[in-house]
């Protein structure tokens, strides 16, 4: 046995456990957030990749020795799951970029390269055109292996290019940050794909994919929180509008103006009190619709109107002293 591969095995087992946990959590999530179905399928493909990839360190470490034909089938499934993961990454970004419009014909065309990859991996079991096992029992690539790699990288690179274009064209800072983040998420896994053979005892590609999945979950979660907050604000605004329509503030202002005219020249104190109450009421109504900070001078005047009303109510029992200036 070769104990050097034990960390590789343990790391992948941890990734499997956490990936299953994430899938279980997403299975309970009924959020309508766009991209969730594609993300679930991407995670499922990653889980298949992890499970089938375990055979390689087990074989290299001497923990098991599967028959050559079984070894080829398992590795074909592993590599095909990578292709599915790349494809669902393309679909995920597409849904995030264009959440409303879906073209069924375009989706069918996008699936054709993935179907071709599936056919190649099916044929390789009998012909070794993509992968095979040599006489020494080691995994080797066939003459058509490069085709599957090109297709996988296209599924990764095309969304990145579209994200860059949308990030440049969009005027929304939030959308720009999201599009740029998708590009950054893929840079490290793409680079690792060229160097993973240099670190055979560490599943660095799997760890990077797992990191990307966690970042995507965080991105979607934060976007969901933002949408909930926006809906709450819209609901609050609608409730305020309904309340104001029921109160009919203009009718109240007009009624108070009539009372003020009736008191003019006959009851000066009642007229002054009516004016202060009208100003106090108007300030309260206006604050319900205002989104900008209220100037201090206006708030001070509002407080003075309130205290004047209270002083008229309680008479000499309430004394007010002002020592505040704007």
Q: What is the pLDDT of residues 54-84, one digit of tens each?
A: 887 877 767 777 787 888 888 899 999 999 9
CA distance 187 to 80: 21
- Residue 122 has what pLDDT? 92
pLDDT digits (tens, 9 = 90+) for 105-144: 777 888 899 999 999 999 998 888 888 877 766 778 889 9
CA distance 160 to 182: 7
Of the candidates 88, 57, 61, 90, the residue with the CA atom closest to the CA atom of residue 75? 57
SS3 of 131, please? strand
CA distance 14 to 30: 26
User: CA 24 from chain center: how many Å?
Assistant: 18
All residues at 6 or more sequence positions from 215 whose CB lies less than 8 Å from its CB, including other chains: 181, 185
CA distance 5 to 8: 5
């Amino acid at each position: 046995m070769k104990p050097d591969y034990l960390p590789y095995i343990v790391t992948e087992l941890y990734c499997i456990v956490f990936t299953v946990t994430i899938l279980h959590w997403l299975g309970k999530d009924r959020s309508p957030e766009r991209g969730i179905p594609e993300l679930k399928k991407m995670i499922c493909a990653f889980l298949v990749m992890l499970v089938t990839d375990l055979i390689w360190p087990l074989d290299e470490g001497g923990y098991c020795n599967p028959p050559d034909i079984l070894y080829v089938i398992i590795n074909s499934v592993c590599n095909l799951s990578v292709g599915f993961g790349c494809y669902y990454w393309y679909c995920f970004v597409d849904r995030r970029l264009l959440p409303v419009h879906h073209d069924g014909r375009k989706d069918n065309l996008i699936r054709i390269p993935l179907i071709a990859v599936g056919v190649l991996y099916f044929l390789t079991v009998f012909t070794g055109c993509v992968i095979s096992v040599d006489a020494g029992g080691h995994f080797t690539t066939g003459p058509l292996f490069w085709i599957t790699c090109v297709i996988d990288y296209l599924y990764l690179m095309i969304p990145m290019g579209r994200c860059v274009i949308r990030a440049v064209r969009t005027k929304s800072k939030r959308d720009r940050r999201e599009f740029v983040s998708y590009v950054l998420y893929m840079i490290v896994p793409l680079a690792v794909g060229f160097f993973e053979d240099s670190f055979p005892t560490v599943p660095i590609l799997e760890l990077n994919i797992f990191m990307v999945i966690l970042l995507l979950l965080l991105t979607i979660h934060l976007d969901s929180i933002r949408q909930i907050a926006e809906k709450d604000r819209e609901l609050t605004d609608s409730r305020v509008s309904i309340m104001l329509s029921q109160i009919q503030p203009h009718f109240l202002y007009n009624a108070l103006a009539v009372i003020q005219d009736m008191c003019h020249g006959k009851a000066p104190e009642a007229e002054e009190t009516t004016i202060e109450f009208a100003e106090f009421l108007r300030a309260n109504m206006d604050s319900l619709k205002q989104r900008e900070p209220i100037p201090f001078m206006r708030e001070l005047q509002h407080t003075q109107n309130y205290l004047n009303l209270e002083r008229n109510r309680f008479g000499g029992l309430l004394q007010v002293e002002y020592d505040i200036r704007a």
